[in-house]
């Protein structure tokens, strides 16, 4: 799969997501539902591997999944300490502390490329989830 083909598929996913967000009963299902109903695991794997070749900016090279099997999910230090482990963290945006932690580290930059964001969403649906190591104790 070529990079331009990958971005065409992403455009279709986002268009379907935006359309479904206007339909009662579908609007709260999220982009994961749209991804699952637009591409299968085989296409998902090709898409993530292709998006990993994008050279849009230096920020998007950091922590971008390279395959469905190589995906590291965020580990919320707040939920880990207060709720008994990373598996108890509901993840962004439901965990406001984790969302705050993510936005603080990766504030919106000039690059508008969705290569890393959509790769992470795809991996959450089809990938093998690994939790990042626990942070050092405060």
Instruction: Specify whether the CB–CB gap between 95 and 76 falls below 8 A.
Output: yes
- Residues (pLDDT < 50) of the chain are 80-87, 133-138
CA pair distance 72, 131, nearest whole angstrom: 6
DSSP 84-113: SSGGG---TTTSHHHHHHHHHHS---S---
pLDDT of residue 12: 92
Cis previous bond, 45, omega within 30: no
pLDDT of the residue at 111: 82
What is the pLDDT at residue 117? 86
119: which 2 tokens?
Answer: 């790769």
Helix (H) or strand (E) holding 33: helix 30-36
User: Cα–Cα distance between 22 and 26 in angstroms, integer?
Assistant: 8
C-alpha distance across the termini of the chain, in Å: 45
Structure tokens at 126: 């089809």
Burial of 71 (0-12, 13-18, 19+ CB in 10 A): buried
């Amino acid at each position: 799969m070529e990079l331009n083909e990958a971005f065409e598929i992403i455009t279709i996913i986002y268009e379907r997501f935006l359309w479904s967000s206007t339909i009662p009963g579908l609007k709260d299902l999220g982009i994961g539902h749209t991804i699952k109903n637009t591409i299968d695991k085989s296409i998902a794997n090709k898409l993530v591997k292709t998006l990993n070749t994008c050279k849009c900016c230096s920020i998007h090279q950091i922590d971008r999944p390279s395959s469905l099997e190589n995906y590291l999910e965020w580990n919320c230090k707040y939920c880990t300490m207060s709720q008994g482990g990373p598996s108890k963290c509901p993840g962004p945006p439901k965990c406001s502390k984790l969302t705050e932690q993510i936005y603080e580290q990766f504030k919106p930059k000039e690059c508008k490329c969705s290569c890393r964001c959509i790769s992470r969403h795809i991996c959450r649906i089809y990938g093998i989830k690994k939790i990042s190591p626990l942070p050092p104790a405060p």
